[in-house]
């Protein structure tokens, strides 16, 4: 591994002693593949990087130290003499901290110390009888030992997933009376911040300690993405008399979720950032943490044009991704500052909604000629959406290309067990091709027949798939 990759993995593992109960995080390294044994110094001395003799390891340990500090920005300072009470302190559900206007906060609820599963374990409860760290740790260790190191991105993604599976319910800190941030979230964000810090200073060629420690310089970008037109597109199926409406509604809803994920994954790939830099993704929105460098900013602008052009040609203006970003510094990770960063990027996104497709349809304050032509109709209009020309007949119904494809997706979803993403090619006949330039392929699979995917999602169970970067 190179030093950047060493930094990313070290950041994911730097606080595992909070899970291991009494052991140092560095002692965990012995359970990892041989290629990762160099992590020990960085993990062990990330609080005191000056103790490391090797200058390269010292450099990345310093980056990790700063990233750890920024990732902990939500914490209040620990009082002198105050110690962690980890053995008897469960993770508080964040919903216990939400004021819904009733004059008081809800009663505290807690998450059980159990591995993540698709069942009732995700729901918080009022009382936790016992916290069995040992049982959860042994299950975690057993699964970690099954990971083989073949390629960095695949290993990193699988490791991140396993950490989510087992540390989603482990509190990151327990020395304050409210422990509502999981260890997984802390490890993930530390790795994301470390990635951005490294790339920022690498771009500048400046590894001076004072520069690395500087909190005022705007070293980061928070990129926001919001898909517009979701509701209209889903329900723009005019005729309930046309068969299979439920199937097509299900297909459209699914497709839009996959579309947002594909845009987010494609942007991460273009920016050459790890999957941990996707800090939030839900409900047609995503936020990506990125380094504030000229290359990154240029790549974002290129990506905007590529995606806008494809969406306009594919969906004729019905769907649009609003992309925007803001710059911020290390001090803005603090609890009372980061909401302002979120507000700022959301304001940029809202302003984009008033200028949809301006990246591609306007030049020198004039409409580009190629966007002034009408759609060619053959005299027949789709029986489902009543908007686009007929291109195919499905189930004895004249449909446009999009409505016809909805029916196919609806059929495929009935027995799909895995969703596989790939930036190179499709390995299945049941495939969605997202984008025309630099396409992204999404295969809907009954079973896995290839090990060449960038990411595989298992729909029915939480597990790591052999030889796959999975989730």
Q: Which residues pair with 124 in a beta bridge?
A: none
Average the pLDDT over each of 96-105, 129-138, 288-297, 314-323 and give the range with the smallest value: 96-105
Phi, psi of 107 (to 5 degrees): -65, 140
Q: What is the reported pLDDT for 338? A: 95
Average the pLDDT over each of 221-230, 247-256, 285-294, 386-395 and give the range with the smallest value: 386-395
Interval 32-52 mean pLDDT: 83
Average pLDDT, the chain: 86
Whether residue 73 has pLDDT greater than 70: yes
Task: Select the more confidently predicted residue: 468 or 197.
Answer: 197
Average the pLDDT over each of 73-87, 305-319, 446-460 and give the range with the smallest value: 73-87
Interval 355-376 mean pLDDT: 72
- pLDDT-derived band of residue 80, with 50, 70 and 90 as boundaries? very low
Which structural domains are found in the chain, ordered by start? 3-76+84-213 (no CATH), 220-371 (3.30.70.270), 392-458 (no CATH)
Interval 74-101 mean pLDDT: 70
Q: What is the token pair recorded at 430?
A: 């049941």
Contact 196, 291 (CB under 8 A): yes
Interval 361-373 mean pLDDT: 68
Task: Select the more confidently predicted residue: 264 or 394.
Answer: 264
Nearest CA-CA partner of 223 in 269, 174, 264: 264
Whether residue 81 has pLDDT greater than 50: no
CA dihedral sign, ordered 398, 401, 406, 409: positive
Interval 159-181 mean pLDDT: 87
Nearest CA-CA partner of 115 in 462, 464, 466, 458: 462
The region, left, alpha or beta by phi > 0 then psi within -120 to 50, assigned to residue 433 is beta
Q: Which residues pair with 5 in a beta bridge?
A: none
For 418-428, write each residue's pLDDT tens digit.
999 988 888 88
Q: Is the pTM here over 0.85, yes or no?
A: yes
């Amino acid at each position: 591994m190179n030093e950047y990759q060493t930094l990313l993995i070290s950041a994911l593992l730097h606080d595992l002693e909070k899970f291991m109960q009494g052991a140092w995080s560095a002692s965990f390294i012995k359970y990892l593949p041989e290629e990762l044994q160099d992590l020990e110094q960085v993990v062990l001395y990330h609080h005191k990087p000056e103790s490391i003799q090797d200058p390269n390891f010292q450099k990345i340990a310093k980056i990790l130290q700063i990233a750890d500090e920024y990732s902990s920005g939500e914490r209040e300072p620990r009082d002198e003499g105050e110690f962690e009470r980890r053995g008897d302190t469960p993770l508080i559900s964040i919903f216990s901290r939400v004021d819904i206007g009733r004059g008081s906060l809800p009663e505290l609820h807690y998450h059980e110390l159990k591995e993540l599963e698709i069942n009732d374990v995700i729901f918080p409860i009022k009382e936790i009888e016992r916290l069995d760290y040992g049982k959860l740790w042994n299950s975690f260790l057993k699964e970690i030992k099954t990971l083989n190191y073949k390629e960095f991105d695949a290993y990193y993604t699988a490791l991140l997933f396993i950490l989510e599976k087992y540390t989603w319910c482990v509190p990151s800190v327990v020395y304050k009376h409210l422990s509502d941030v999981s260890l997984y979230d802390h490890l993930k964000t530390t790795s994301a911040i470390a990635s951005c810090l490294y790339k920022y200073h690498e771009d500048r060629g400046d590894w001076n300690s004072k520069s690395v420690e500087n909190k005022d310089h705007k070293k980061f970008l928070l990129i926001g993405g919001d898909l517009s037109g979701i509701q209209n597109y889903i329900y723009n199926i005019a005729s309930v008399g046309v068969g299979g409406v439920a199937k097509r509604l299900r297909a459209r809803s699914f497709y839009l979720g996959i579309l947002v994920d594909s845009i987010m994954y494609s942007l991460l790939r273009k920016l050459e950032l790890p999957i941990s830099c996707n800090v939030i993704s839900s409900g047609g929105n995503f936020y990506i943490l990125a380094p504030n460098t000229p290359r990154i900013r240029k790549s974002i602008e290129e990506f905007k044009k590529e995606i806008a052009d494809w969406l306009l040609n594919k969906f004729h203006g019905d769907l649009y991704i609003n992309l925007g970003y803001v710059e911020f510094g290390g001090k803005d990770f603090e609890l009372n500052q980061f909401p302002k960063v979120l507000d700022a990027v959301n304001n940029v996104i809202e302003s984009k909604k008033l200028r949809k497709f301006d990246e591609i349809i306007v030049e020198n304050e004039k409409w580009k000629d190629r966007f002034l032509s009408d759609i060619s109709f053959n005299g027949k209009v789709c029986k489902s959406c009543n908007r686009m020309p007929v291109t195919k007949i499905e189930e004895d119904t004249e449909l446009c290309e999009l409505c016809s494809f909805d029916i196919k997706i609806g059929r495929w979803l009935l027995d799909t067990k895995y969703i596989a993403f790939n930036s190179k090619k499709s390995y299945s006949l049941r495939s969605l091709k997202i984008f025309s330039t630099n396409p992204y392929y999404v295969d809907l699979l009954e079973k896995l027949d290839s090990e060449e995917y960038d990411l595989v999602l298992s729909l029915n169970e939480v597990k790591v798939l052999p030889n796959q970067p999975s989730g």
